[in-house]
Structure 1
C-alpha cells in the first residue's frame, strides 16, 4: 500500500513506534481541523503522533465508548461545514466534545 501511495505522488507518514495505534476509522479531517477517536483501536500515543504530523491543523480527541469501534461509527463530515452525528448512546457524548472545539 505504501509503495502504491508513493507511486501516486502522495506523501506517506509512517508511525515509527511499537506501541502507538492509530485506526483510520478514528480520523476525520474537516478541511480545517482533525478529529481523532480515543477508542479501542487508537491510543494516546497514536493521537500525539497524528498531532505532531499535522501541526498546521487543530487536532481534537473524541472519546469513543465501547462497544462502538471507532469515531466514524457515529460522527462524519456530511458536507463542507456540516457534521453528521448519530443521536444515540455514543453520538451524544461525541457531539458534546466535537461542538465544543469546532473551528469556525
Structure 2
C-alpha cells in the first residue's frame, strides 16, 4: 500500500523581491502557461504584484512550486539576445535569484 507524502508547508509571501530564489524564463506563451499550471499558489492573487526595477520591460508572475518562491519571466520572443536581456533584467528586479531556468 502506498502512502502519500505530506505536502511541504507553503512558504510565506516574500516581503520583497529579494525573497525569490528561482526564476523560470519562457519564450513561448505555451511554455509559460505550462509552468504557471505547476504553481501550487500564485502570489499575484494575494495582493499587489511585486514591483520591478525602473526600466525593466519584463512581465512576471510570482508563485510557489513546492516549498520554493518562484518568479516566471515572459520573454518578448525567442532567441539568445532576448533570453540574455530578460535574464539580466530579471536578476536586477529579483536580486535574490540563485537558479534561473530558460525553458
The two structures share one fold, judged by TM-score above 0.5 = no
Higher relative contact order (CA 8 A, sep 6+): 2
TM-score by length of 2: 0.29
